[in-house]
Amino acid sequence: MMDQENFVEWDQSPFSERAKKAALQGNLDCALPLVSTLEDAKAAFRGLEQICKIANANRVQEFAWRDKDDDDESIQPPMGINTVESLLALGEVVSRMFVSDIDRVSDWMDKHAIREPDPVADLAIAAQAAVAQARRRRVTAPEVEGETA
C-alpha cells in the first residue's frame, strides 16, 4: 500500500539546521560516518541502477517474445514476474535501509559531530588577528619626519 507522502515534492532534509550550519561553517568533527554512508550509498545506488536496467530490459524482452515468429528460437523468454518483483523488492529494501542509515547518521551528527562555538577561543583568535594587523601597519607605515623610534 502506498504511503500518503508525496516524494516528488518531499524536500525535508534529515539533517537539522544546526548540523547544516555547522557543515557550512566547517565545524563538523569526525566525518567518517558521513563518508562511510556515502560510500555505501554509492554501491547501493549502482545496484539499484542495475535493477532498473534489468526491469526495463525485461519489459522490452516481453514485447519481443510476444511478437516473435513461432519458428524463431533465437529470442529468449522474459524473466518471470516473480523474478522481477523480487528484484524490485530488493531495491525497496535497500532504499529503506539507506533512509534509516541517513537518519541514524543525522542523529549522530547532532549529538557528537558538531563543534560548538567557543567564545573564549573566538576572542583569542580575534585578539591575535588584531595584533598581527597592528604589527603590519607599523611595519608598512611611512616614517614621519621628526618622529623617533
Helix axes 32-67, 81-108, angle to 10 degrees: 160
Give this prediction's pTM: 0.58
User: How far, in Å, CA of 48 to CA of 39, rounded?
Assistant: 14
pLDDT computed for residue 9 by the predictor: 58
Cα torsion 76, 81, 84, 90 to 10°: value is -150
pLDDT computed for residue 62 by the predictor: 92
DSSP string, the chain: ---S--SSS----SS-HHHHHHHHTT-B---HHHHHHHHHHHHHHHHHHHHHHHHHHHHHHHHHHHHS-TT--SSPPPPPHHHHHHHHHHHHHHHHHHHHHHHHHHHHIIIIIB----HHHHHHHHHHHHHHHHHHHHHHSPPPTT---
pLDDT computed for residue 147 by the predictor: 56
Question: pLDDT, tens digit, for every residue of 85-96?
Answer: 999 999 999 989
pLDDT computed for residue 115 by the predictor: 79
Angle, alpha carbons 100-101-106 (nearest 5°):
95
Low-confidence ranges of the chain (pLDDT < 50): 1
User: How far, in Å, CA of 95 to CA of 125, rounded?
Assistant: 45
What is the overall mean pLDDT for the chain?
A: 83
